[in-house]
Chain A
Amino acid sequence: MRVALAEDGALFREGLLMLLQAAGHEVVAVAAGGDELISLLATTPADVAILDIRMPPEPDGGLITAERLRGKYPEMGLLFLSHYAESHYLMRILEIGTDSIGYRLKERVGSVEVLSDTLGRIADGEIVIEPVLAKRLVERPRGQKKDEIAALSEREVDVLRLMAEGRSNNGIASQLVVTPKAIEKNIANIFAKLNLHTDTSEHHRRVLAVLTYLRSQRDGS
């Protein structure tokens, strides 16, 4: 796999570079910050970019860089590494994309097997979330969340599932062979039933709805 890497901590960057090479990956770009990585990637294609969340450009260079990369190369997988596993950052990451994306703790990708498995799943289009964070999300007030999903109609669950796949309203409409207007109505109902209040932006509510769906999926499995 062709991997690009941006991390401002020299010790960690060197360690990760050696581990990636030991795992047999081709490291096509190594940078100490997001801007540098983007200019390197202008001439070199990569399958997955590994980004430290907190690096230049400050403060959250990894997130800014990821937005740019997703805009320029929608096919490129993104793996965020951080010292913290926080749902705040997961939300922001899922706002960037809900496919081919991952969020893991720095010390938890420290083996060839885990690193390759994480990169492979991202390249295959999956969302990879640090298990300790996924567990925390799943173990939250379960009964309430389950009820919320159960309150949705069959059509609304279909819409939510397609939202979780990262589709736009128009994309969902064509998939379900209805008008975009009908989808907007479905989504408004989903927000209301999931108690996503109007004090947050439409986009943020969309992400929260997707997260609720993902949590309910994990509950089921």
Chain B
Amino acid sequence: MRLEPAARADREGAPCPALDEPVAHPGPADRPFPTNSNAAPAARDVHAARRHRELQQWHARLRLERQLHDGAALRISALALQLGLFQHRVPPGEPELRDAVGTLQDELATALQELRDVAAKIYPPLLDQAGLGPALRNLVERLDAPVRVTAGPERFGAAAEGAVYFALADALGVDAGALPDEVRVTRESDHLVVVVSGAGVGLGELIRDRAFPLGGSVTGPDVRAAEPHGVGTIVVRIPCE
């Protein structure tokens, strides 16, 4: 999913209030694309610019999700309460009116659920609030997938966490038959490291697509070693923010 317009708005707009550190911090490891058009950009400048753009997109997603929650969703929840008060004040002789208010409340609950579903596709609130461990456990629980998730409470930044989460969510959503056995999340200095065992080639590709723009590296699965099932172990390393 690409969110180009939002990412552009992000660049011009206010800084993301949730971030302890700014998204862009030009330095040796993360320099924006050179503005001097005469100079051919070095490969690492291109990579840094790509990572910078990708970080901004993830933060734009996060901000959209929070906007849905803090704006529309809270307003609708409060409206449901006001309807409850209204229902309480309906005179006893008006059962139809009472029921009609109840139906309206149910409609509001359905609208809220639809908002939650949309928000979860933009950026899962549980991933934002509680991190990769709880979000991945929730994902396998909902899909009823026998995947073991091992993760501590560490946080790695919205982009790295989002990349890993969505790669696995895509893989599980596409082909539930090709589930990995285990996902293990750890930190190695300033990198998020995810080891996925029992993973197929397809999952490797999905993870590469998400990890490379963030300057991440992916090894495996070396399926030759794991014939005949065609599965192996993937190791993903993504720099934290």
Q: How many chain B residues touch the partner (CB < 8 A)?
A: 33
Bound: A22/B88 CA distance, A = 8
Which residues from chain A contact B134 at a C-beta distance below 8 Å?
A: 86, 88
In the A-B complex, the 6 residue pairs with the smallest Cβ-Cβ separation, listed nearest first, are A15-B81, A11-B78, A110-B80, A110-B84, A88-B134, A107-B80
Q: How many chain A residues touch the partner (CB < 8 A)?
A: 31
Tally of A-B Cβ pairs under 8 angstroms = 80
Bound: A159/B85 CA distance, A = 44
Which residues from chain A contact B103 at a C-beta distance below 8 Å?
A: none
- B214: Cβ under 8 A from any A Cβ: no
Cβ-defined contact, B77 with A19, below 8 A: no
- Contact with B81, one of A19, A59, A60, A88 (Cβ below 8 angstroms): A19
Which residues from chain B contact A83 at a C-beta distance below 8 Å?
A: 69, 73-74, 77, 112, 116, 125
Which residues from chain B contact A106 at a C-beta distance below 8 Å?
A: 77, 80
Cβ-defined contact, B105 with A111, below 8 A: yes
In the complex, how many angstroms separate the beta carbon of B61 from the nearest chain A beta carbon? 18
Which residues from chain B contact A109 at a C-beta distance below 8 Å?
A: 81
> Chain B residues in contact with chain A, CB under 8 A?
69, 73-78, 80-85, 87-89, 102, 105, 108-109, 112, 116, 125-126, 129-130, 134, 137-138, 141-142, 144, 150
Which residues from chain B contact A14 at a C-beta distance below 8 Å?
A: 78
With CB as the reference atom, state the residue of chain A lying closest to B87: A111
Bound: A16/B78 CA distance, A = 8
Q: List 21 A-B contacts (CB under 8 A).
A: A9-B77, A9-B78, A15-B81, A15-B82, A19-B88, A22-B85, A23-B88, A54-B129, A83-B73, A83-B112, A83-B125, A88-B134, A107-B112, A108-B109, A109-B81, A110-B80, A110-B83, A110-B84, A110-B105, A111-B88, A141-B144
